[in-house]
Each structure stands twice: as C-alpha cells, then as structure tokens.
C-alpha cells in the first residue's frame, strides 16, 4: 500500500466568499505595448468604447443602428482597435492567493457504541503552513480580437451632411460636437483622425458635420483655379507638392469661397492633400497631383452612389474635374476597393455594407482558445 508524504504537500482551501473577477486575455501586440511603455515610464492610454446610445420617443434607449457601426464594445489604444468578446469555457480558472493556513490534525476516534467511529479534524497547536486559497472561480474570460473598422463609413452614418450655405441645416438642439463624436465612435484616435479627413468632416458653430461629396468637388475646382493663379503655387505641382499652409493662404486672400465655412474649405483641401509625418512626429499636408487625382475620382463616385457609369463616361468626367497637371494620374487602380466593374465595363460605387464586411478583420476565426494553446504546448 502506497503512502503519501504530507511534508511536501501545499495546503489548499476555498474562500467562503468568492470575489467577482473578469479576466482579460491580451493579444501579443497589446501586451508588448504595455510592457515597453512600462519600461519607458509612460503608460499607454487605453479606452473602452461602445456605440452611442440614443433615446426613442417612448423613452426607451437603444444603441445607434447602422451596419457600419460595430455592435459590441471595443478597447482602443492610440492607433489600434480591439473588439471585446466574452468567451466561455468548460474548464474553470482558479484565482489563487498565498496565505497561511492553520494546521489541522485528527482527533481521537469517537465511538458511538454501534461499532462505527467518526474521525474529527481539529486545529493543531502547530504553526500555520504557507498555502493557497481560491478567491475566485472564472468560467469565462474577455478576449480582445484585432479589428479594422471602416471609420469613414461609421462617420458617414453618424454625421449630418452639409450641402451648401444656401441649404438650411436641420440639426437637433443636442447635435454632438467633434469631441463628443470621438468619445462615442468605437475606433482608436488615429483611426478616427483619418476617418474624419476621409469623410470631409468639420465643425460649424460647435456641431460636427460632414460635407457632401458634390460640394467637396465644387470647392476643390474653385480652390484649384485659385491655386493656379497664385504665384509660385501652380508651377510647384511637378516638384514635391505644395505646402498646405500656402494653399489656405491663397484661398483666403482670393475670397471666392468666402461664403463657404472656412473649416469646410480646409477639410476639402486636407482630404485632397497627402499626409506626411515629420521626424518630430508632427503631421503635415502636402498637395500633389497624384493624391488629388485619386481624391477627385473617389468623390465623383460618392457624389453618384447609385449611378452606373460606362468606363469612358466615368474617365472623361474624372478628367474634366481635374486641373491639367493631374490628368496624367487618372487610373482606376487608385480607386481599388470602392468600385465594381462588370464584364461590360460598367462602373458602380460599392455601397457601405459590402465595404464594411470587407474591412473587418477575420482574425477571430483563426484565434485559438487559451486551453487549446495550453494543450498544444504540452504536446510539444
């Protein structure tokens, strides 16, 4: 008969009151960000966001309904977005805490007269032993799945469209500002900043709006004419591009677009400009022909979302909307992902739902559960 050596045993017990705990599994990129930031002494800013809640006429609340907006909460870093998903498992996880556990021993048997005896466990005079106590049992945990939300389509669903200075805006009194939209949009700050540019977003009287694509094209044509007339700007296109500040200064001096909100004009020129990051981390905008050509082609499709273009018709309309120096950069490859073309050459804009499905990461289907990873590591 085998004997058990209790001298090496670790006392193990369960706490009478369990503490509620939710475990969060970190993907490698997020774990690395936290560890590296800790060593540098500056902790990363992590945010948990969810779709905005709107109130209905009957007083009930619901999240904003749009196929472009992720239905679940997300965790964001400065540049990345992770969908938060609850994962249940048949294998419970014990949260342990080291404690001193009192030593117990067997008392003398208690004979009740019928031949049976009960063994009683009593506290021993020996000192407590270091042991482990279970403070919480987790049958599920939270998983972070890397996500690539289509921020432009999300903002198109959230922002009111601005058409022209002659068209009155039908805005509710509680229309959100840009800062409120940032807080309620389930994407990272960097993804929001790029989406804000892509959607031609701007603020008017403290309200967040987006410019209609047709109005954006109108402003672009007028701005391009002003740029060509300005000294030292029109000839600079063939070099490294034109500085954004010089463009805005020329437009302000001309006055042709003064009836339009200044921020709307800046949003158009910012979207039509190429973004560059300086050595010091600052962002600058450079206006060059190839980027401007792609921007105009995209907005030509956005301004006609339900129209079927013949290829020659679309290419001619695209070239007519551009300054001469941009025409050589007209190429359908610059619009990959936002249009379809039939075997007959008919070109159409891809509507939002299809683009969102294409833009969301499929990492979730490939991700193993923690216990599968553990089993795999044991087999190696």
pLDDT in tens, 148-174: 989 999 999 889 999 999 988 888 788
User: If we measure between CA atoms, which residue out of 346, 360, 365, 252 comes closest to residue 304?
Assistant: 346
Contact assessment for residue 241 and residue 274, using Cβ atoms and an 8 Å cutoff:
yes
108-122, 248-262, 298-312, 331-345: range with lowest mean pLDDT? 108-122
Q: Residue 379 — very low, low, confident or very high, per pLDDT cuts 50/70/90?
A: low
pLDDT classification of 34: cutoffs 50, 70, 90: confident
CA angle 294, 298, 301 (to 5 degrees): 145
Residues pairing with 144 in the sheet: 84
- Residue-wise pLDDT for 60-81, tens only, equals 444 454 555 666 789 999 999 9
Please give the Cα distance from 330 to 335 (Å, whole number).
10
Say how many C-beta atoms besides its own lie within 10 A of residue 138's C-beta: 14
Question: What pLDDT score does 138 carry?
Answer: 87
Q: What is the mean pLDDT of residues 224-239?
A: 67
Measure the CA–CA gap between 94 and 134, rounded to whole angstroms: 6
Whether pTM > 0.85 for this model: the answer is no
Q: What is the pLDDT of residues 236-289, one digit of tens each?
A: 554 556 677 778 888 888 888 999 999 999 999 999 988 877 777 677 778 788
CA distance 227 to 148: 36
Res 56: pLDDT: 42
Exposure b/e, 209-233, CB count within 10 A at least 16 = b? bbbbbebbbbbbebbbebbeebeeb
């Amino acid at each position: 008969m085998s004997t058990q050596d209790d001298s090496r045993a670790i006392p193990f017990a369960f706490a009478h009151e369990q503490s509620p705990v939710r475990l969060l599994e970190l993907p490698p990129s997020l774990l690395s960000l936290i560890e590296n930031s800790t060593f540098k002494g500056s902790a990363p800013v992590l945010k948990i966001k969810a779709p905005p809640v709107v109130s209905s006429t009957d007083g009930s609340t619901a999240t904003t309904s749009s196929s472009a907006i992720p239905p679940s909460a997300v965790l964001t870093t400065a540049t990345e977005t992770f969908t938060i998903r609850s994962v249940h498992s048949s294998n419970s996880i014990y949260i342990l805490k080291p404690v001193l556990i009192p030593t117990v021993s067997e008392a003398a048997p208690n004979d009740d007269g019928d031949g049976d005896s009960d063994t009683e466990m009593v506290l021993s005079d020996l000192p407590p032993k270091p042991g482990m106590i279970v403070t919480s049992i987790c049958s599920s945990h939270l998983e972070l799945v890397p996500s690539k939300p289509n921020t432009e389509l999300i903002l198109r669903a959230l922002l009111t469209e601005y058409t022209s200075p002659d068209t009155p805006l039908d805005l509710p009194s509680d229309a959100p500002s840009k800062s409120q939209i940032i807080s309620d949009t389930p994407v990272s700050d960097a993804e929001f900043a790029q989406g804000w540019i892509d959607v031609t977003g701007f603020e008017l009287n403290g309200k967040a709006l987006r410019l209609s694509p047709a109005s954006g094209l109108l402003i672009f044509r007028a701005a391009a004419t002003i740029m060509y007339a300005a000294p030292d700007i029109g000839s600079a296109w063939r070099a490294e591009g034109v500085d954004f500040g010089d463009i805005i200064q020329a437009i302000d001096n001309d006055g042709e677009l003064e009836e339009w909100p200044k921020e709307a004009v800046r949003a158009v020129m910012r979207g039509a400009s190429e973004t560059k990051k300086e050595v010091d981390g600052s962002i600058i905008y450079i206006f060059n022909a190839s980027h401007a050509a792609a921007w105009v082609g995209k907005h030509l499709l956005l301004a006609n979302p339900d129209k079927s273009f013949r290829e020659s018709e679309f290419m001619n309309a695209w070239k007519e909307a551009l300054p001469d120096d941009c025409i050589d950069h007209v190429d359908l490859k610059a619009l990959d992902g936002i249009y379809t073309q039939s075997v007959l050459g008919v070109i159409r804009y891809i509507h939002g739902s299809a683009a969102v499905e294409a833009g969301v990461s499929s990492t979730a289907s490939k991700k193993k559960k923690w216990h599968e990873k553990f089993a795999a590591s044991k087999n190696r």
